[in-house]
Amino acid sequence: MAFEPKNEQKELKYEELRIYTDEELNNYTEEELKNFKFKHDVPDLDDLEKGPWPSFVSDAKQEALHRHKLADDRLMTAKDSVDDLMGALQLSFDDGETHWKHGGIVGVFGYGGGVIGRYSDVPEKFPGVTHFHTMRVNQTSSKFYDTDFLRSLADLWEYRGSGILNMHGSTGDIVFLGTTTDQLEPIFYDLTHELGVDLGGSGSNLRTPSCCVGKARCEYACIDTQDLCYEMTQFYQDELHRPMFPYKFKFKFDGCPNGCVASIARSDMSFIGTWRDDIRIDQEAVKAYIAGESAPNAGAHGGRDWGKFDIQKEVIDLCPTNCMCYEDGELKIDNSECTRCMHCINVMPKALRPGKDTGVTILCGAKAPILEGAQMATMIVPFMKAEAPYDNIKELIEKVWDWWMEEGKNRERLGELIQRFSLPRFLDIMELPPAPQMVKEPRSNPYIFWKEEDVKGGWNRDINDYRSRHKR
């Protein structure tokens, strides 16, 4: 199957888009790089060039040298912004304190997010980073790119910003680190007009949705995570750019309960692919695992000798519901007892596959610790089909938003609002019946806040009637 984008997609050709010539891009020698020193003394950073893991300091040096050697009019921001960034980092090490200030007014016109103002509090020492704003650029679903796009992005960002970026930030965006206020609009113009890509979310907006690799390259994916992510991002562009929420709101889309994009811990609404029919079993492939012909867990434990694969010990005994057995040369699964934890499938991917009747489990309310402590998402909808155009999912999302916008306090995440109102009230508002699947166990205190309508005869009683049976 193929997917068609909703908007017309400009085909990007780096050769047409590029800013720098090949000569400009190859403007230093390895010898020069070896001898290169930042303009500030940075002993701690020099130390971070050692060791096998990729050194961000060494990387920064490449960029700094490259910038130094470009002609003055070939950079629209400070030539030595990377030097100054590294100098400021060293000063922060010396002081044990950051040297960045926040600033809230900068942005591109008409958007309430996507740009985060940043200023140095030592501009006289590091003039190249006096203004050093962040821009978030909406990543592609699952972060696949081609080199035409990436090279164009690199030219744009080097020319109009520091040349330093994050691939990617925590929420999922490509993060441009450091530009000046006057460059924000020109960058936005080129991003939209030339590269056909938009800013991501920040502030009290829908944050940039993100998803796992999904069906593009994973046999476990139960849903089209990329398509769902793309559709929701496009459909809710207004919510992403123009704030109306009490606080931030995140969606993330995981293709299966392994949860590679961590939606269960990091999103106000977490969509996790699942299935409701039976795990598919290839009995011959099971035998191949038992015979040692296939490496368990796709070879993930290949670095150590764990001994011969033992299906009883490694699969059946570790099943959290004890719903499997190996009898008469066949692996049997009692699917009605299965909680779809993925362990058996992870251990024997050649033999076991998720079912075919797939959809999403929807969980609500995850967030980082401030204020009531970290929360994981609570299971609200056990199963929902997830097929384009996803109207059922959109309907549910908007119901949640309507309630949160109505009742949520400023800076109150969905998970906190559910806590404040109580899960039963949330379910009531969502018009969903309560189910034991929503809790780990029933409450152990009996302090049920009965409502008047729950109790036969109501609460309004006649004292005289009572007194007719009981003396004062």
Partner 1 sequence: MEDFKKAILEHAEGSKKTKFYFKDLEKAVKKTYPDAKSRMIKKAATELVNEGTLIYYSTGSSTMYGLKGRGITEDH
Partner 2 sequence: MALSTGKLGSYNPDKPQEGRETDLGPRHFWQYFPPVIQNNYGKWAYHDILEPGIIVHVSETGDKVFTVRCGGARFMSSELIREVCEVADKHCDGYVRFTTRNNIEFMTDSSDKLENLKQDLQSRKFVSGSYKFPIGGTGAGVTNIVHTQGYIHCHTPATDASSMVKAVMDEVFGHFTGMELPAKVRISMACCLNMCGAVHCSDIALLGYHRKPPIVDHEVIDAICEIPLAVSSCPVGAISPAKTEDGKKTVKIKDERCMFCGNCYTMCPALPLSDKEGDGVTILAGGKLSNRISMPKFSKVVVPWVPNNFPRFPEVVENVKKILNAYANDANKYERLGDWAERIGWEKYFEKCDIPFTEHLIDDYRLAYDTFRTSTQFKFTQAAWDVSKAAGGIE
Q: Interaction with partner 1 in 128-167: which residues (CB under 8 A)?
A: 131
Could you say which of 5, 110, 369, 433 contacts partner 1 (CB under 8 A)?
Answer: 110
| Partner whose footprint covers residue 333, from partner 2, partner 1, none (CB < 5 to 8 Å by kind) | none
Burial of 177 (0-12, 13-18, 19+ CB in 10 A): buried
172 Ramachandran zone, left/alpha/beta (phi>0; psi -120 to 50)? left
Structure tokens at 465: 């009637």
By the rule CB under 8 A, 178 interacts with partner 1 = no
243 binds partner 1 (CB under 8 A): yes
115 makes contact with partner 1 (CB under 8 A):
yes
Residue 314 contact, options partner 2, partner 1, none, Cβ 5-8 Å cut-off depending on partner type: partner 2
Q: CB under 5 to 8 A by kind: which of partner 1, partner 2, none does 203 bind? A: partner 1
Contact residue for partner 2 among 106, 135, 165, 338 (CB under 8 A):
165
C-alpha 376/C-alpha 272 separation (Å) is 13
Interface with partner 1 (CB under 8 A), residue total 33
Contact call for residue 181 and partner 1 (CB under 8 A): yes
* 277 in contact with partner 2 (CB under 8 A): no
Q: Does 270 interact with partner 1 (rule: CB under 8 A)?
A: no
Out of 116, 195, 218, 430, the only residue in the binding site for partner 1 (CB under 8 A) is: 116
Cα end-to-end span (Å), the chain: 80
Please enumerate in sequence order all residues whose Cβ is within 8 A of that of 79, keeping only pairs 6 or more positions apart, or say none: 67, 68, 70, 72, 128
Strand partners of residue 210: 252
Residues 6+ apart with CB under 8 A from 35: none
* 292: Cβ contacts below 8 Å, ≥ 6 apart: 308, 309
As a whole number of angstroms, the distance between CA 137 and CA 139 comes to 6
| Residue 69 interaction partner, one of partner 1, partner 2, none, beta carbon < 5-8 Å per kind | none
Cα distances (Å, whole numbers) of residue 309 to 95, 141, 288, 291: 54, 37, 11, 8
For 217, the token pair is 């390259």
> Bridge-partner residues for 136, per DSSP?
175
Instruction: Assess 181 for contact with partner 2 (CB under 8 A).
Output: no
Q: Which of residues 65-124 bind partner 2 (CB under 8 A)?
A: 66, 76, 82, 85, 88-89, 92-93, 95-102, 104, 109-111, 118, 121
106 binds partner 1 (CB under 8 A): yes
Contact, 412 vs 402, CB < 8 A? no
Q: Give least dist CB 469 to partner 2, A.
A: 42
Which C-beta is closer to partner 2: that of 76 or that of 430?
76
Single-letter code of the amino acid located at 458: G
Q: Does 409 engage in binding with partner 2 (CB under 8 A)?
A: no
Which is nearest to 56 in space by CA: 41, 46, 65?
Answer: 46
d(CA 33, CA 349): 47
**Is the Cβ–Cβ distance between 212 and 261 less than 8 Å?**
yes
Residues 142, 129: Cα–Cα separation, whole Å: 32
Sign of CA dihedral 157, 158, 163, 166: positive
Q: What is the DSSP string of 242-300?
A: S--SSS-B-EEEESSTT-TT-HHHH-SEEEEEEESSPPEE-HHHHHHHHTTSS-GGGGT
238 belongs to the binding site for partner 2 (CB under 8 A): yes
247 binds, among partner 1, partner 2, none (CB under 5 to 8 A by kind): partner 1
255 binds partner 1, rule: CB under 8 A: no
Instruction: Find out whether 365 and 421 touch, Cβ atoms under 8 Å.
Output: no
Determine which residue in the list 78, 115, 135, 154 makes contact with partner 2, applying CB under 8 A. Answer: 154
Q: Which of 291, 325, 405, 439 binds partner 1 (CB under 8 A)?
A: 405
The site that binds partner 2 (CB under 8 A) totals a number of residues, namely: 171
Least gap, CB of 121 to partner 1 (angstroms): 11
**Residue 383 found at the interface with partner 2 (CB under 8 A):** no
Answer yes or no whether residue 56 interacts with partner 2 by CB under 8 A: yes
Under rule CB under 8 A, residue 94 binds partner 1: no
Tell me which residues in 411-450 interact with partner 1 (CB under 8 A). 411
Task: For the segment 327-356, give every residue that binds partner 1 (CB under 8 A).
Answer: none
Asked if 317 interacts with partner 1 (CB under 8 A), we say no
Q: Tell whether residue 63 is a contact of partner 2 (CB under 8 A).
A: yes
Q: Binding pattern to partner 1, positions 196-215, x when CB under 8 A?
A: ------xxxx----------
Nearer to partner 2, 295 or 467 (CB): 295
Please report whether residue 402 would count as binding partner 1 according to CB under 8 A.
yes
Interface contacts to partner 1, rule CB under 8 A? 102-107, 110-113, 115-117, 119, 131, 181, 202-205, 242-248, 402, 405-406, 409-411
